[in-house]
Amino acid sequence: QSFKLLGFLDVKSVPCARESVLYGSLGSFVVGLGHFVATSRVRRSCDFAVGGFICTMLGYWFYCRYNLAQHRIRQRMLKEGMRNKLLFEGSSLDPERKQTGNERSDS
């Protein structure tokens, strides 16, 4: 089963959604409780809790998506490097192959 937040965000299948909601909930609790302890105003503390949820959730969402994009870029570069290694291994285009004097004069 999937859990849809607000009817459209499938928390189970969207990367970073689950963690963002969990960290948002924790941020909401901390901000709301902290404001309540400081001021003893319930309604205002609830407003701060909602704001804390939104800020924490969006902050972690962007942080997680950025790291995910960086990870995918590194994976793509590694995959391409491995493919090139297999293609060029043993040929004159292999960067690890030591060139002899005859091969240098041909180039």
Q: What is the pLDDT of residues 56-106, one digit of tens each?
A: 999 999 999 999 999 999 999 999 888 877 777 777 767 676 665 555 555
- Quick: pLDDT tens for 6-65: 666 677 777 888 899 899 999 999 999 999 999 999 999 999 999 999 999 999 999 999
E-strand spans in 1-107?
4-5, 9-10
How far is it, in rounded angstroms, from Cα 32 to Cα 78? Answer: 45
Structural domain includes residue 21: yes
Half-sphere exposure of 96 (CA within 13 A, CB side): 7
Percent pLDDT > 90 in the chain is 54
Structural domain includes residue 37: yes
The residue range of the domain holding 28 is: 15-87
Structural domain includes residue 79: yes
Structural domain includes residue 23: yes
Structural domain includes residue 62: yes
Structural domain includes residue 99: no
Per-residue pLDDT at 6: 63
Q: What is the DSSP letter of 14?
A: S
Residues near 42 by Cβ (< 8 Å), separated by ≥ 6? 36
Q: Average model confidence (pLDDT) for the chain? A: 84
> Into how many domains does the chain fold?
1
Structural domain includes residue 33: yes
Tokens read off for 23: 């960290």
